């Protein structure tokens, strides 16, 4: 996009609060965006070639929706944690190996998508966020869901296509958690504590080291099926 095109784009965005520039081969956040940083509510730069975000990302502190999927981000600056109005954070299909602790300040998040990255540890920074409904961590390289996860407030947690071998029984303490996706991992079985005591009414577990027959014989399966059936009845 030429300078005149970008200028027109900026003018429009200053009125609408939305800046969207997808698949434009951008290698960085356009510096001109800083001119309307306080105006923007939605920023979508998906499908570009951005490798890092500047520390000045903190200037966009009115943003509610940030989408940067399909870029080349290897790191998230700690300053992103200053965007406390964020409700949607989509950083899927990048090269992230970790997230900064400052993201725990983003208390208004409702949806976070970090799928298809290179995360090796479960990001406990998203625990205790009372508005967070969906956390998508599929297609990463995590091997366990650790202690501390009991404070997670999400309704749906997607961990499909990781390398998870261990689930903390603290998942049973997640009162809002209804859907847990664990397809294509390395689990031997779901523990009796999670099956019996959790609020989870839908487990997606195909592609692990056990099959559906094993699960049906597991201690706690009956209690899980009671929750599953009750949820189905509510839907119809």
Sorting pLDDT into bands at 50, 70 and 90, what band is 233? confident
| Total structural domains within the chain | 1
Q: Is 5 part of any domain?
A: no
Q: Is 172 part of any domain?
A: yes
Please tell me what DSSP assigns to residue 45.
-
Percent of the chain whose predicted confidence (pLDDT) is above 90:
93
Range of the domain at 153: 11-233
Cα–Cα distance between 181 and 49 in angstroms, integer?
30
Quick one: pLDDT at residue 77?
97
Other beta carbons within 10 angstroms of residue 83's beta carbon come to 23
Q: Is 62 part of any domain?
A: yes
Quick one: pLDDT at residue 232?
79
Average pLDDT for 185-214:
97
Q: At 47, which CATH number?
A: 3.80.10.10
For residue 235, pLDDT beyond 70: no
Please, which contacts does 184-188 make with residues 24 or more away whose CB atoms are closer than 8 Å?
Answer: 184/160, 184/208, 185/159, 185/160, 185/161, 186/143
Give every CB contact of residue 29 below 8 A, 6+ residues apart in sequence. 45, 50, 53, 54, 57
Please tell me what DSSP assigns to residue 154.
-
The tokens for 14 are 């200053």
Q: What separation in angstroms does the CA of 53 have from each of 48, 75, 111?
A: 13, 8, 20
Q: Is 80 part of any domain?
A: yes
**Beta-bridge partner residues of 20:** 44
* pTM of the predicted model as reported, rounded to 2 decimal places: 0.95
Q: Is 122 part of any domain?
A: yes
Give residue-wise pLDDT tens across range 141-178: 999 999 999 999 999 999 999 999 999 999 999 999 99
Q: Is 30 part of any domain?
A: yes
Q: Is 3 part of any domain?
A: no
Average pLDDT for 107-122:
98
Q: Is 4 part of any domain?
A: no
Rg (CA), the chain: 20
Cα–Cα distance between 199 and 174 in angstroms, integer?
7
């Amino acid at each position: 996009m030429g300078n005149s095109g970008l200028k027109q784009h900026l003018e429009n965005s200053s009125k609408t609060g939305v800046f969207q520039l997808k698949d434009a081969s951008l290698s960085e956040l356009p510096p001109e965006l800083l001119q309307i940083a306080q105006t923007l509510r939605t920023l979508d730069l998906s499908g570009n070639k951005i490798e890092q975000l500047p520390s000045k990302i903190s200037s966009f502190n009115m943003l509610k929706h940030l989408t940067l999927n399909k870029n080349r981000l290897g790191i998230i600056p700690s300053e992103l944690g200053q965007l406390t109005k964020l409700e949607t954070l989509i950083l899927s299909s990048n090269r992230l190996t970790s997230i900064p602790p400052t993201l725990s300040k983003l208390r208004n998040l409702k949806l976070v998508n970090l799928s298809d990255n290179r995360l090796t540890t479960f990001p406990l920074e998203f625990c205790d966020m009372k508005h967070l409904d969906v956390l998508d961590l599929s297609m990463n390289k995590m091997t366990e869901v650790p202690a501390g996860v009991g404070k997670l407030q999400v309704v749906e947690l997607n961990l499909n296509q990781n390398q998870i071998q261990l689930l903390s029984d603290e998942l049973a303490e997640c009162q809002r958690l209804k859907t847990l996706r664990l397809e294509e991992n390395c689990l031997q079985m779901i523990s009796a504590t999670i099956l019996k005591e959790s609020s989870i009414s839908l487990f997606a577990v195909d592609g692990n080291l056990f099959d559906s027959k094993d699960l049906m014989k597991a201690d706690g399966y009956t209690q899980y099926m009671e929750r599953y059936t009750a949820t189905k009845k509510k839907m119809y």
